[in-house]
Every structure is written in structure tokens, then in C-alpha cells.
Structure 1
Amino acid sequence: MIRVDGTKSNTSASDSMTPNNPIIPVLDGITDPHIRVYDGVAYMTACHDKSIDNEWFDSDHWVMYSSADLVNWKLEYALHPEKTYIGKPYNQCWATDFIKRNGKYYWYFSEHNHGVGVMVAEAPEGPWTDPLGEPLLKEGLVLTDPYDPGIVEYDGDYYIVFGVWDFYIARLNEDMISLAEQPVKITIRNPRGPYNLDGMNKKHPTDDKPFIHIYKGKFYLSWGCFYAMSDNIYGPYEYIDAILTDSSFAEGYKEPTWPTGFRQGRHGSFFEMHNQWYFNYDDMSQTGNRFFRSSFISYVHYEENGEIAPVRVDGTGVGQYDANNGSIEAEDYFKASQINKMENKEGGFSVTGIDHGDFLTFPNIYGLEQKSKIEFKATDLQGVIVEIHRDSPEGEILASYRLKKQRGKKDPDVYTFDFPSQDGTISLCFVFKGGKNNLFIFDSFSFK
């Protein structure tokens, strides 16, 4: 990867594989990303940082991209402020969010930190129109700046969360362009943030960029890489942790970073696609300019207690795999049937709950030309046949292996088999066969 200053950056991807982080070319300045998935397609709304020479958060329009594989992205629409109530060129086109309801699409956007507007369309590619001709959220509505909207659907209702330092939430009317209630301040117990790492900064306890997602009945309120959890969408929320740690970063991705460190500035969103969870967020390591950022995606894995494990930040990204880069973790699949992830007692995760006919798909595997063996790291509970198909469960069977039952063995074992060499990039689908449910625990695989 080449940084915009012309120097080469490091990446964990092999020479034959194009790095997938940033997901949009670094010189495009696509930032503050939020992703929604509809009909198997990921739609990302984001801001466009104006110039590599930016000395402030100068974003001159908003964009929408789409992708079916999280690797190849298509620009669907560029929303310019002239098409909104702003009505003129504007350099503070700040963060957005996007959602579908009742067959229509709603695109919420920030006018600097002064207000939030909304656009409506029949399709993601537009045309988009401004139904209000004024902000939905105006200055003075609450005791915080009304910007950085995040939309969440719960139990048939839709909510908007927004603000800085203190976050507010309100239910939207069915028309999605008006509030059904006065916004309510969200209580967060013992919060932390990039300016409040020790908990002593009561004036700036959190950040801006609030977002809420739901996992297994729990509500997760995040602000960048910091998050809190609650049993109620309105709170109170209990601060948990940040999902970026010193060990999160591949070489070349921890620095350059923000003035307060790598936990600052990570505006983003959480989303689910094909039974996999992801974090989509800002990064500046490849530009060196905190005002000209790019967008990354990382896998998200939840621990047994519901907390989010630290995420990995690297160039490989998601939706592609490097056969020359050691083991491929089973939990980093792109697509899966209804299976579960299990936190390993020694650290990391495995895939469990594998029943007869279940599958895992790993598209865009590079570097198999010189490989002749495949190794599975797994705990075989029942005796299982692993079929490797091309592309999907219905695709050509490339190989089939029987993993013998290891009686009384609870730790993972390594199973090695011959594997037919493959030219170029290939997508593999692992289909599991056996006579019982909970066939085995799948930790990782590699090619030799």
C-alpha cells in the first residue's frame, strides 16, 4: 500500500493480495462510515473529506457506496449540500446514517454541529429529496449540539441517537421525518472517552459519534471504539471498555494516529451480514492527516458475557483471506448457516453448534498455487465429514475429508489432508456432514 505522501506502508496481506483496508482508496477521503445491509447488499453512507491538505474537518458532500462482498465497492450516490435545505456549497458536511422503513430509504446528515437533516428516496441510488426543507433536529432542541445521528430499529420502532459529551435519544414517527417524543438524555455510568481515559474529565466524559446496535437482547451504545451496555434502549448504560488495545494493530497501522492516541477519532458503526458481525470505522494511519481520513472494516466477536473482544486492525480487512499468512480463523468466515461462535478458554474464538448440513464460506482466498495440504485445527466431538465446495454449498466438490472421533479428547487436534492446488483466487465453502448435531468445534485451518 502507498500512503498519500508517497511512502510505502506495511500490511499483513501478501504481495498477491490487494489490501482491503481502507475499503475505499485512501486518496478518496471517505470517512465517518455507517453501514446497513439490505437484501444481501451492504450500503455505506459516509462523508467526503475534501483534501489531503485539510487543516480542519472540511467535508464537502456525502456519499453512498454499495458492496455484496465487502471487498468491491460501487459509488451509488453523491449527495451535495445544494440538494438539501442548506442550498449552497458547504464544507462541514458531517456524519450521516441511513435506514429503510416501509419501502422507503431515509438518509440523515449533519450540518456541522448545528443540526440534522433528512433525505428520502425510493431506492438507494436515488433520486433523493428533502421533504422538510429544514433540519429535523435544530439547535436548542436539547442541551447538546444536535449532530452525528445514529438510527436504530427495535421491536418495530425506530429511534435516533445524537449529540456530543451527553447523548440523547428519541423515537421517530412512522414518517421517519418527525419526532414522536421529546429527546431523552441517556445516562452512562462511569463513562470513558478519548479525552477521559482516567475518568476524571467530567466536562468531556465521552465524545460525539453515538451509535446503538443490538446483540442477543442487549443494547450497545458506542462512541467510536468506546462502548456501554444496557438492558433498555433508553438506558441507563454501564460503561464497559474500548475495543481497540495496544495489541489490536498490525505493523504499520497503529501510527500515525490522533493527538490523544489510537482510541480517538474512530467514528463508525456495527453491522451484521450473513451471520457475521463487523465494525466499520475511521482510520488515519495511511494518510497521516487526522483531517483526511479513510474507512476500515474489522471482524467483531462477542465474549461469553456479551462484551466485545478487542478487534484487529490490519490491511487484509474482511471478506478475503491470505493462504500465505498462517492460519485462517474459522470465526472470521464471510457467510455461515445458523451456527455459533465460542470463546476459547486459552483466548480467541472457535465456531461451534455445527449441525449436519451447516456451512461456512470463505471467499477470495489468495496464494493457493503452491499449496498441496490443508490442516484443520478442531475438536471432533461426533465424527464429521468436511466437504470443500467451490463458492457455495451447491458448488463443485473439490475435496472431502473424514475427521475421526477422538474419544475423551477436549483440546483441539490438528488434522492434515491432501488438497488439490488451485490457480488464482478462489472462494471455498466448507459443508459439514454427520449423523448428529453439534458435530465438532472448528478453530482454524491453514494451507501448506
Structure 2
Amino acid sequence: MIVDDRLYLGMGHDKSWDIEFNWTMDRWEIWSTNDLKTWVKETVIHPNDTYFGPEPNCWAGDFAQKDGKYYWYFSNKFFDTGVMIADKPGGPYKDALGKPLLSKGLAPTNSYDPEVYEENGVYTIIWGAGTYYCATLGEDMLSLADKPQKIEIYNSDGTYRNTDDKPTMFKRNEYYYLVWGAHYAMSKELRGPYDYKGAFYSGGHGSIFNWKGQWYVVHEHHDISMFYRGIMLKTMYFNPDGTVNLKSDFTFPIGGGRKWEFDNSRMGWRSPSGTNVQWTKAGTIKGEITGQKPIIESANWASTETKGKTLEIRIKNNTPTSKLKLSFALFKTNIERFWSYPEINWLEEATINIDVKPNSSEYVKYTLPLDTIENIPKTLKRLRIEFLDSDSGNWEIDYILIQ
């Protein structure tokens, strides 16, 4: 939402990087900027501020502004949608109805993940998962002025296309764009039907906006794990026919993979045994060996491709060990609701031992082509590092890269 040359960004907050089996979102936060670089936290909205109470159900939402009032339409998990109101874009916000605006069963789709689109003073709310529905918001912004209408999307061969959750809508020139995740469709009519166009910018839930003549997409990014997500901001471009040009689409790091650089936190790394994991202001993680079989590991659901990648680690190994055991857990995406299965049997996962310099007080960089590892998973679920034959000393890691 842009107000007086200031951009306001609203988002759900993932509770912890240690959550492994569901999306647990304990609050919403609103941040703002006037240059897209320096951000200020405006306010925090807690679930207790809403009709659904203390449950950590703070899923996706969207802003609207009208007549000096500001609205935050929010998901109560995947159940229903409510609305909050404020006198200032940065809040504080209060529940405007004390009950859902979009109740469960309102339309033949889930009543969550709202998107609000305004054109010529008319506000349209869009929601759903798999199939999207829309309705006109009433003059009070707290009611529906008409019945929900299905938004139809068709492939190039005329077959019907289903979507995912969290629709995003914007208009450029004569076309309306309907976006969900890494897919999009176009139409010359707001309510469709829409023609499916293909790949959109890679990433999760997001929004598209025009800032001082430049289009941008801002969306979730799994920089730590599936359940503890960061946010990416990308410039956005179009082809002459209006379709999306993906030339500025990039992942983090560029080309895919993953960076654990520890600039601001320990990025979910922890120890199940034998040591501790501490973050340092120098942008590293470190630990003292406290017993047998010292192990450190990333947060679960790293969601990182490994094919054609190289692992690089820069470590200060001030322990007696001359070998590190690296284990790569498999991300099983071919089963329904795969995120409900966080368990890992490390005895069955791909492993390799690498030689390292023992009792070192200096950083040493080690590289490992991942394609050389037998049974390496295509997509990484969790990375584990084990210090073999060490019961004393300390270690410190500057970074771990898969690129």
C-alpha cells in the first residue's frame, strides 16, 4: 500500500525456524519505507486483536485505503477472512467486525488469502485456493455488495486450469494480471475469463506494485526454511505484448542453491548433541564441544536443489577431528502433504566424509561437488555436519554455500 510516497508492507510472521510440520504464524507485522532500502517497523498485530483469539493463525492478507481509513483484510489460517481498520496506514489496527467478513462455506472454495483490487473507486475482493472467487466490497468496506463470482482460467488448449492459494491482482495498460505463486494469467476483464500464460517470478505469496514508474514484485522466500521465510524484492519487466519478461527473476543466491552467511542470525542452525551453536556479531556461528558425537544441522525443509551444485564451507576447526561427516536428507516431494512428514532417518540418508585440518585456529575453505555423492537427494531437506572422533575443542563457521 502506497500512502504519501511511502510504501507499507504487511506480512504474516513465522513463529520459529524450529517448527517442522505446519505453518505456525504468531502475528502480522507492518513495515514501511520511502526508498525500498531502509525499512521501519510500524506496528505488530497479534491474533488476540482479532475475533479468532490466541491461535497462531495469522496467514496472508492485503491492504486497502478509502476516505482516510486503512483496512487490513486477513486470513484466519485457511478457515475464513476478517478485516481490521485504522486511522493511519501504520496502525494501530482494530477488528472492525468481531467476526469473519468471508465466512467458511461462502463460496465453493476456501475462504482465505484475500486480495483487494481497487479501480475507479470500486473495490473487489478476491480469495480462495484451487479456484478463485471475487465479490464487490460494500461502501463501508466491511460487507459484500454482490454475490461471489467464480474467476475462470483456461489453458491455451481451452482446458480449465486450477490455481493454488493466495491470488494477487494488478493492472497494466489494458490487461489485468492474476498471479498465484510462480504462475500467472491475463485478461482484459477484471473478472475474466483469464488466459493462462505460464511461469511468473519464482517465489511464494506476494504482491506487485508500481513505485515511481518501475514495477516490482515482493514475495516470500525460503531463505531459512519452508516454515521460517524471508522476503525478496525484485524489479519486474514486460514484453511488448504485455506478457511478463523474467529477465530480472533471480533466486538467492543467483542461480539457485542456498547461502548460510549468518550476517544477522544463526539462520536456524542448531545442535542435537555434543556441542552448542552460538551466533556472533562478526557474522559467524560457533560452539564448544561438550561431549561425544558433536553434530550441528540446518533448520528442516531447507528446500534447496543440489543437482550441478557445489558445497563450500569455510570453517575454523579447532578440534582433534580430521574428518567431517556430511549428511544430506531427502526432500520427498512426491507424496501428498509432504510437509507433514518431518522425520528423518539419518542412517538412510546420503553421506560423505571430507578431510579437514585439525586443531586449527584459522579459517580453511573446503569445496565438494555434490554430484559426486552417491544417492544425493535432488532437493535437500536438511544438512547435517558431524565432527568425527572429537570430544573437546571448539569450532566456528564463517559460511556454508550450496551454489
TM-score by length of 2: 0.60
TM-fit CA distance, 1:282: 1.1
Which residue matches 2:164? 207
TM-fit CA distance, 1:126: 2.0
TM-fit CA distance, 1:191: 8.5
Alignment of 1:355-366 (within 5 A): none
Which residue matches 2:45? 79
Cα separation, 1, equivalents of 2:119 and 2:91: 26
Which residue matches 1:117? 82
Alignment of 1:1-20 (within 5 A): none
Cα separation, 1, equivalents of 2:198 and 2:129: 18
Check conservation: 2:47, 2:57, Cα contact below 8 A. Answer: no
Cα separation, 2, equivalents of 1:132 and 1:206: 29
* 2:214 maps to which of 271, 276, 290: 276
Which residue matches 1:242? 199
Cα deviation, 1:337-365, whole Å, max 9, x if unaligned, reads xxxxxxxxxxxxxxxxxxxxxxxxxxxxx
Q: How many residues align?
A: 252
Cα deviation, 1:158-197, whole Å, max 9, x if unaligned, reads 11000000000111011111001111000000289xxxxx
Alignment of 1:426-437 (within 5 A): none
Unaligned runs of 5+ in 1: 1-35, 193-198, 245-262, 318-448
Which residue matches 2:239? 303
Please say if 1:221 is aligned against 2:221. Answer: no
What SS is found at the alignment partner of 1:65? Answer: strand
Which residue matches 1:53? 18
Which residue matches 2:230? 294
Check conservation: 1:191, 1:206, Cα contact below 8 A. Answer: no
TM-score by length of 1: 0.54
* 1:69 maps to which of 14, 28, 35: 35
Cα separation, 1, equivalents of 2:250 and 2:29: 24
Cα separation, 1, equivalents of 2:33 and 2:252: 18
Amino acid at match of 1:298: K
TM-fit CA distance, 1:102: 0.9
Amino acid at match of 2:31: Y
Amino acid at match of 1:124: P
* 2:108 maps to which of 138, 143, 149: 143
TM-fit CA distance, 1:205: 2.7
- Relative to structure 1, the CA distance from residue 100 to residue 76 in structure 2 (aligned partners, 3 Å threshold; closer, same or farther) is same
Check conservation: 2:27, 2:56, Cα contact below 8 A. Answer: yes
Cα separation, 2, equivalents of 1:209 and 1:73: 25
TM-fit CA distance, 1:128: 1.4
Please say if 1:187 is aligned against 2:124. Answer: no
Which residue matches 1:232? 189
What SS is found at the alignment partner of 1:301? Answer: strand
- State the identity %: 40
Which residue matches 2:258? none
Which residue matches 1:164? 129
Cα separation, 2, equivalents of 1:140 and 1:44: 29
Cα deviation, 1:31-62, whole Å, max 9, x if unaligned, reads xxxxx212111100000000011221110111
Which residue matches 1:312? 249
Check conservation: 2:8, 2:90, Cα contact below 8 A. Answer: no
TM-fit CA distance, 1:314: 5.1
State the structure with bigger RCO (CA 8 A, min sep 6), 1 or 2.
Answer: 1
Cα separation, 2, equivalents of 1:315 and 1:174: 42
Cα separation, 1, equivalents of 2:102 and 2:174: 29
What SS is found at the alignment partner of 1:51? Answer: coil
Unaligned runs of 5+ in 2: 255-403
Which residue matches 1:155? 120
Which residue matches 2:142? 177
Check conservation: 1:191, 1:205, Cα contact below 8 A. Answer: no
Amino acid at match of 1:215: R
TM-fit CA distance, 1:94: 0.3
Check conservation: 1:45, 1:64, Cα contact below 8 A. Answer: yes
What SS is found at the alignment partner of 1:180? Answer: coil
* 2:9 maps to which of 39, 44, 66: 44
TM-fit CA distance, 1:316: 9.8
- Relative to structure 1, the CA distance from residue 233 to residue 189 in structure 2 (aligned partners, 3 Å threshold; closer, same or farther) is same
TM-fit CA distance, 1:129: 1.5
Check conservation: 2:3, 2:89, Cα contact below 8 A. Answer: no
Cα separation, 2, equivalents of 1:243 and 1:132: 35
Cα separation, 2, equivalents of 1:173 and 1:299: 34
TM-fit CA distance, 1:315: 6.0
Cα separation, 1, equivalents of 2:205 and 2:128: 13
Cα separation, 2, equivalents of 1:209 and 1:75: 24
Cα separation, 2, equivalents of 1:313 and 1:75: 26
Indicate the structure with greater strand content.
2
Cα separation, 2, equivalents of 1:92 and 1:166: 22
Cα deviation, 1:244-298, whole Å, max 9, x if unaligned, reads 4xxxxxxxxxxxxxxxxxx5x61101001101100001111x21x1111111010
Cα separation, 1, equivalents of 2:117 and 2:252: 29
Check conservation: 1:37, 1:272, Cα contact below 8 A. Answer: no
Amino acid at match of 1:206: T
